[in-house]
Amino acid sequence: MLRPIVHYGDSVLHTPAAPVTTFDDSLQKLIDDMIDTMYAAPGIGLAAPQVGVPLRVFVIDLSVGKRGGELITMINPEFTTREGMQLEEEGCLSVPGHNATVARPARAVVKGLDRHGQPRIVEGDGLLARALQHEIDHLDGLLFLDRPRGLKRDLIVRKIRKQQRAGRW
């Protein structure tokens, strides 16, 4: 089932999410819905706060469902390693129509739990390292817009405010 994606300005996106403590049916339903919603958008990653749920859960699939075995589901993730730096243009399903160049680690290792509560580790470089950092930022109440400095961020926020005032956000 698809869930509506909330946009910049919704408080759930700007508040740190809580750890998952119960691996029940409603968590399984949330994860299934997040996967459906990510693929339908389409997007390569989605965090639970983006569908209005303040829990530490994200899904990533760089192939957007086109290749089997690339779907990553992580619960209560934490970085164990972040190395290097990459600068690339980035966007977000919660900030539609706006992109900015964001500094991210070139390589990242994340440990957490899978959807059944079993420990797992994900290692990524390049785009996957970027996606891991982007989604964990969501769980910490940060958007990619909170990363670039100065003028670019101010410009995007001004444009969003204008869209909000016009009822087009």
Report the catalytic residues. 135
Of 4 and 68, CB closest to Zn ion: 4
Smallest CA-to-CA distance from 4 within 37, 42, 53, 47 is with 37
What are the residues facing 135 on neighbouring strands?
none
Q: Residue 45 Cβ, how far from Zn ion at the closest point, in Å?
A: 7
Using CB under 5 A as the binding criterion, the count of chain residues that bind Zn ion stands at: 1
Binding segment for Zn ion (CB under 5 A), chosen from 24-32, 71-79, 89-97, 109-117, is 89-97
Helix (H) or strand (E) holding 128: helix 127-139
88-to-82, 93, 102, 105, 108 alpha-carbon distances in Å: 17, 17, 6, 11, 16
Q: Residue 95 Cβ, how far from Zn ion at the closest point, in Å?
A: 7
Of 75 and 92, CB closest to Zn ion: 92
Binding segment for Zn ion (CB under 5 A), chosen from 31-39, 72-80, 91-99, 106-114, is 91-99
In whole angstroms, give the CA distance from residue 83 to residue 121.
16
Q: Which of residues 37-76 bind Zn ion (CB under 5 A)?
A: none
* By the rule CB under 5 A, 145 interacts with Zn ion: no
Residue with tokens 């740190």: 16
What are the residues facing 110 on neighbouring strands?
79, 122
The number of helix segments (H) and strand segments (E) in the chain equals 3, 7
Of 92 and 136, CB closest to Zn ion: 92
* By the rule CB under 5 A, 92 interacts with Zn ion: yes
Question: Whose CB is nearest to Zn ion?
Answer: 92
Of 23 and 169, CB closest to Zn ion: 169
Q: Residue 86 Cβ, how far from Zn ion at the closest point, in Å?
A: 17
Q: Residue 22 Cβ, how far from Zn ion at the closest point, in Å?
A: 25
Q: What is the DSSP string of 60-113?
A: E-TTTTSSTT--EEEEEEEEEEEES-EEEEE--TTSTT--EEEEE-SEEEEEEE
By CB under 5 A, name the binding residues for Zn ion. 92
